[in-house]
Amino acid sequence: MIDLLERQLLFVTGKGGTGKTTVAAALGLLAAGTGRRTLVCEVEPKGDLSAAYECGPTPFEGRKVVALLTAMSMDTEASLREYLRMILRVPVVGRIGPVARAFDFVATAAPGIREILTIGKLCYEVRAQHYDLVVVDASATGHIVGQLAAPTGINELVKVGVVQSQTRWMLDILRDPARTGAVIVTTPEEMPVSEAVDLAGRLQQETPVHLACVIANRVLPELFGRGEEHVFDEIALPGRRAELARSVGAGDAEIAAVFAAASLAVTIRRDGAAHLEHLRRELADEVPLMYLPYLFGRAHGLRAIRRVAQSLGEEL
Amino acid sequence: MAPGTARQRQVEQLLAAREVVVACGPGGVGKTTTAAALAATTVARVGGRVLVLTVDPARRLADALGIGGLGNAAIKVPDEAFSAAGVRPRGELWAAMLDMSESWDALVRRHAPDSRTADQILGNPLYQNITRRFAQGHDYIAMERLYELHEGGEYDLLVVDTPPSRNALDLLDAPERMSEFFSSRLLRWLTVPYRSRLVNVASRPFYQVADRVLGSQFLQDLADFFILFQTMRDGFVARAEAVNRLLRDVRTTFLLVTTLEAVPAREAEEMLEALQKRRLHLGLLVCNKVLPSLLSDPAVSRAAEQLAEKAPQLAGQIAEMLGDGVPNASADVVATVLGEVASSFANFRLVATREAELLGELSAAHEVSATVGYRAGNITDLAGLLAMGARIWGDEEVEEPPAPRSTRRQGQPRREPGPRPGGQRRRPRRQTAEGGTAPPAGTAPPAGHGEKAADMRRAERTRGTGGQPGGTSPRER
C-alpha cells in the first residue's frame, strides 16, 4: 500500500454525517505535522471545515490554519474566473460578474460543468505544485461519483471548447494511484456501511480514481477483554449484584442500572462490529480498513480534530 | 382499544385526520424505518389503506414487511406478516419504492405534447444527465410521486419517506424551483435561435464566455434540448404548483425524525425552522436511537463512582463469591471488569448528557413527540416496526421483541473480529496483533441479549424514570 500521505490528492467521501470533514481536517493536520505543505478544500462550503479548524472563514483564496496548512472552500464561479484568467488569459475578468447568474444556470443545467470546475481547480493545485498534498473534503456518497467521473464524461458531451481540451491532464493526475486516491469514511452502522460498500464498487467502475482506504469512524472501544464478559455476566446475576451493591454501599437498583448501561455499551459495540465485519467482507482484500475511536468527550472543534489526527497517525 | 393516554389519542387523531405524512430529517437517523413503523402501526390501530413510499430502502425493510422486494408499483404487505406479529390488522398496509429514473420518464411522457417529443426528450443524451443531476431533482420527484398517489385517491393515508437532502430547504422548495426553472429568463436565453443571441446586448457577454469555454456546438445541443424541454413547461409548472399546494394543505403533516447527535440534531433544527417559516404543519417530532435516561440519573452516577472507587478493594471478595465455578474470575479480572463497568458508565453518561442538551434545544423549538431508545440489532420484522410504532404512540409499556437472535446464534463469536479502537482504550491491545479477535474460547453462548434489554427496562422502571406516559424521559418535560 502506498502511504496515504505520500499521495498528492485525496478525496475524502462517505455518507453524510459519518465525519468526512473531521477525517479530512485530521488528515490535513497530520500531513502538515509531517512537514508537508498541505491544502484542505471543502467542496460544499457549509462552513464545517472552518468549524473543525476553528479558524474563521475559509475563502476560495485559502486561509492559513497552522504552519504549512491552508484551508479553502470551493467556489465554482471563482474557479472559473481563476481558470479564465490564469490558463486561458481571457480578458473577461471585469465582465464575468453580470453573467455569473447565467453561468450558474448553465452549470446547474449542463452536466458536469460545475464538477469539472471543482475537479479542475483541485488538479490545478496539484499540477502547479503549490502543495505537497491536497486533501478534499469531498461531496457525499450521492454526488462524488458524478464529480470524479466528470472529466471522463464531459468528453462525450462537450465536443469542442476549452473545457474539453483541458480534461486530459486532469485525467492523468486522477487515474494515477500513486498520486490520487479516494478515502471513504463510514461509521459502524447499517446504512453508512452499505453505502460505503456500494460506493467502493462505483468508484472502481465509473471513475478514474482508485480507492486508497476506508476509514471506520466512531468505533466504540471494546469493553471487556477475553473471558471478562463471562465474569461480568456472572457478577450481574441478581443475587450477586445485590451483594456487590451492599459491599459498594450503593442501592441495588442503582448498581443494576450501572450494569444495564454496561450491557447496552456491549450491545451497541457488538452491533457495530457486525456491520464492520460485513464491510471487511465486502471490500476488496487490498483495500485497507482503518478504525478511528468514538470520542466520548467533545466531538468537534480543533481539539477533537487533533485527537482524531493522533489516532489516524497511529493507524497509518 | 383502551381509552389510552392523551398522547395516544393525539397521535391517533393526527393519523386518522391527515392524508399525507411527509417524513423528513437528516440522513442516517432511521427515517425510512420510522416512516414504515408509523404506517404499520396506523394499519394495526387505526385502519384504512395505508401506503408507505420509501426512497432507497435497505433490503431489510422489504424483508421486515414480509414482501419480496420493492418497486415503483405498490405491493400489499400480507396479513400473515401481521399475524406473525400477533396483530390483526384493521386495514391494509401497502409499500412502494420510488424509482427515480422510472418516475422521471413517466413525468416526461405525461407532460410532453406528443409521444414523438417525449421520445426525443428521453433519447437525448443530455436528458439522463440533467434529470440525474438537476438540483433538487430527486426531491421534486418524490413530491411529484406523492401528489400523483394522493390524486389517485386509492389510499387513506400516504406516508412518504424523503431523500436525504444536502440542505434542509431543498425538499420544501423543490416544486417552486421547478416552476422557477421553467419561467427563468435564462432558459429563454438559451433557447432563442443562435443568431439572435448575438444581437441581444444583455446576453452577449455570457455567450462570448460560454462559447469560448464550452464551445458553440455544446451550447447548440443544450439549446436543442431545452427547446424540447420547454414544450413540457405548462404541464410542469401547473403540476409543481399543485404539488406545492398539497404540501401546504391541511390534509398534510410532516414527521421530523432525528437522532440526538450533534450534526443531525443541528440539521433537524434547521429543518424545524424551515417548516415553521413556511407555516407547514409539523405533526410529529421523533428522536431516534436515544440513550436511556438512567445514564443521566445522578443517583446512578454516584453508584458508578462508588463502584469505581471501591472496585480494587472489593475485587478479592467478589472473586471469592464467584468461586471456582466461574473460570477466569481472579481478583485481578474482577477488578478490571468492575473498573470497565464504571468507566463505561462515565463515558456513556457524557454522551447522554450531550443528548439531553440537544433534546432540550429541540424541545424548546417544538414539542418532542417521542424518543425511541437505542435498540439492539436491526428491525427485521413487522413486530419490530410495530414496537417502534408503539413508542411513537406513547404506549406506557412496550414489550419489545427480543433482539434478533437468529443472526447471533449461528456460531457467531461473542466478540466479533473487529475494530481496534485506538485512543479510547486504556489498556494495551489484548487481541491478536491485527485487531482480529480470535473467537474467544470458553465464553458463554450469546443468549444474554434479550435478557439484558429486559434488565435495562427493569432497571429503568425501578428507577422510576422509564415507562412514563408518553414513554418520554423526564428531561423532556
CA gap B393, B11 in Å, rounded: 6
Distance of CA B162 to the CA centre of its chain: 9
Averaged pLDDT, B7-26 = 91
Contact: B212, A162; criterion CB under 8 Å: yes
DSSP state of B77: P
Q: What is the pLDDT of residues A239-271, one digit of tens each?
A: 999 999 999 999 999 999 999 999 999 999 999
The pLDDT value recorded for residue B450 is 40
- Supply the DSSP string of B176-233, one letter for each residue: HHHHHHHH-HHHHHHHS-HHHHHH-TTTHHHHHHHHHHH-HHHHHHHHHHHHHHHTTH
Contact: B455, A270; criterion CB under 8 Å: no
Say if residue A101's pLDDT is above 60: no
CA gap B373, A103 in Å, rounded: 48
Contact: B314, A247; criterion CB under 8 Å: yes
The pLDDT value recorded for residue B464 is 39
Q: What is the pLDDT of residues B138-183, one digit of tens each?
A: 777 888 888 999 999 999 999 998 876 655 566 677 777 777 777 6
The pLDDT value recorded for residue B23 is 92
Say if residue A104's pLDDT is above 80: no
Share above pLDDT 70 across residues of chain A, in percent, rounded to a whole number:
87
Q: What is the pLDDT of residues B189-226, one digit of tens each?
A: 666 665 565 556 655 666 666 666 667 777 777 777 77
Contact: B423, A310; criterion CB under 8 Å: yes
Give the strand order in the sheet containing A289-293: A63-66, A69-73, A38-42, A133-137, A9-14, A180-186, A211-219, A289-293
What is the overall mean pLDDT for chain B? Answer: 77
Cα dist from B374 to A8, A115, A195, B299, whole Å: 41, 39, 22, 22
Question: Which residues neighbour B464 within 8 Å (Cβ) at sequence distance 6 or greater?
Answer: none
What's the 3-state SS for A148-160? Answer: HHHHHHHHHHCCC
Best B341, B353, B460 residue to mutate vs chain A (most A CBs within 10 Å):
B341
Q: Is A86 on the interface with B (CB under 8 A)?
A: no
Averaged pLDDT, A135-151 = 85
Q: What is the pLDDT of residues A147-177, one digit of tens each?
A: 898 888 776 666 666 666 778 888 999 999 9
CA gap A256, A262 in Å, rounded: 10
CA gap B306, B300 in Å, rounded: 10
Q: Which residue of B has its CA nearest to A17?
A: B263
Say if residue B428's pLDDT is above 60: no
Contact: A90, B209; criterion CB under 8 Å: yes
Backbone angles phi, psi at B91, to 5 degrees: -150, -155
Report yes or no: B56 and B285 within 8 Å, Cβ to Cβ: no
Cα dist from B28 to A146, B264, B465, whole Å: 22, 9, 28
Q: Is A97 on the interface with B (CB under 8 A)?
A: no
- A vs B, Cβ pairs < 8 A, gives 337
Span of A300-309, B200-209, B258-267 with lowest mean pLDDT: B200-209
CA gap B204, B208 in Å, rounded: 6
Backbone angles phi, psi at B148, to 5 degrees: -60, -45
CA gap B356, B340 in Å, rounded: 24
Would you call B100 helix, strand, or coil by DSSP?
helix
Query: Which parts of chain A fold into alpha helices (H)?
Result: 20-33, 48-53, 76-83, 100-109, 113-127, 141-157, 162-165, 167-174, 190-206, 228-236, 238-248, 252-282, 301-315
Nearest chain B Cα distance for residue A184, angstroms: 16
What is the overall mean pLDDT for chain A? Answer: 87
Say if residue B35's pLDDT is above 90: yes
Cα dist from B224 to A59, B81, B134, B191, B192, whole Å: 37, 52, 17, 7, 10
Averaged pLDDT, B288-294 = 92
Contact: B314, A220; criterion CB under 8 Å: no
Averaged pLDDT, B319-336 = 89
Give per-residue burial for B358-383: e unless 16+ CB within 10 Å, then b: bbeebbeebebbbbbbbbbbbbbbbb
Distance of CA B316 to the CA centre of its chain: 48
Q: What is the pairing mode between strands A69-73 and A63-66? A: antiparallel
Give per-residue burial for B241-273: e unless 16+ CB within 10 Å, then b: eebbebbeeeebbbbbbbbbbbbbbebbbebbe
Question: Which residues neighbour A214 within 8 Å (Cβ) at sequence distance 6 or greater?
Answer: A183, A184, A185, A186, A196, A200, A279, A283, A287, A288, A289, A290
For A201, the grid coordinates are 464498487
The pLDDT value recorded for residue B423 is 37
Report yes or no: B229 and B121 within 8 Å, Cβ to Cβ: yes
Distance of CA B59 to the CA centre of its chain: 15
Q: Is A108 on the interface with B (CB under 8 A)?
A: yes
CA gap B382, B260 in Å, rounded: 25
pLDDT band at B444 (very low <50, low <70, confident <90, very high): very low
Cα dist from B346 to A273, A293, A296, B295, B354, whole Å: 22, 16, 9, 9, 13
Say if residue A93's pLDDT is above 60: no
Nearest chain A Cα distance for residue B10, angstroms: 31
ipTM of the predicted structure?
A: 0.86
For B202, the grid coordinates are 444583455
Q: Which residues pair with B445 in a beta bridge?
A: none
Nearest chain B Cα distance for residue A58, angstroms: 20
| Amino acid, single-letter form, for residue A198 | D
The pLDDT value recorded for residue B220 is 75
Q: Which residues in chain A are contacts of B192 at CB distance < 8 A?
A: none
For B187, the grid coordinates are 432558459
Report yes or no: B467 and B461 within 8 Å, Cβ to Cβ: yes
Give the strand order in the sheet containing B157-161: B75-76, B91-97, B48-54, B157-161, B20-24, B252-259, B282-290, B370-373
Report yes or no: A186 and A193 within 8 Å, Cβ to Cβ: yes
Backbone angles phi, psi at B250, to 5 degrees: -65, -15
| Amino acid, single-letter form, for residue A293 | P
CA gap A212, A2 in Å, rounded: 8
The pLDDT value recorded for residue B243 is 87
pLDDT band at B116 (very low <50, low <70, confident <90, very high): very high
The pLDDT value recorded for residue B465 is 38
Q: Which residues pair with B370 in a beta bridge?
A: B286
CA gap A79, B312 in Å, rounded: 62
Averaged pLDDT, B395-412 = 42
Averaged pLDDT, B342-365 = 94
First-to-last C-alpha distance (Å) of chain A:
10
Nearest chain A Cα distance for residue B433, angstroms: 13
Q: Which of B68, B49, B53 is nearest to B103 (CA)?
A: B53
pLDDT band at A65 (very low <50, low <70, confident <90, very high): very high
- Supply the DSSP string of A218-277, one letter for each residue: EEPPP-S-TTHHHHHHHHHSHHHHHHHHHHHTS-HHHHHHHHHHHHHHHHHHHHHHHHHH
- Supply the DSSP string of B154-172, one letter for each residue: --SEEEEE-PPPSSTTHHH
Nearest to B218 among A159, A291, A292 (CB): A159
Nearest chain B Cα distance for residue A182, angstroms: 21
Say if residue A188's pLDDT is above 70: yes
Q: How many CB atoms lie within 10 A of CB A311?
A: 24
Q: Which residues pair with B20 in a beta bridge?
A: B158, B252
pLDDT higher at B239 or B407:
B239
Q: Which of A105, A96, A80 is nearest to B191 (CA)?
A: A105
Contact: A277, B350; criterion CB under 8 Å: no
pTM of the shown model:
0.80
Averaged pLDDT, B133-137 = 54
Contact: B414, A227; criterion CB under 8 Å: no
Contact: B328, A231; criterion CB under 8 Å: yes
Contact: A235, B337; criterion CB under 8 Å: yes
Q: How many CB atoms lie within 10 A of CB B190?
A: 26
CA gap B47, B44 in Å, rounded: 6
Cα dist from B469 to B44, B214, B473, whole Å: 20, 63, 9
Averaged pLDDT, B327-331 = 86
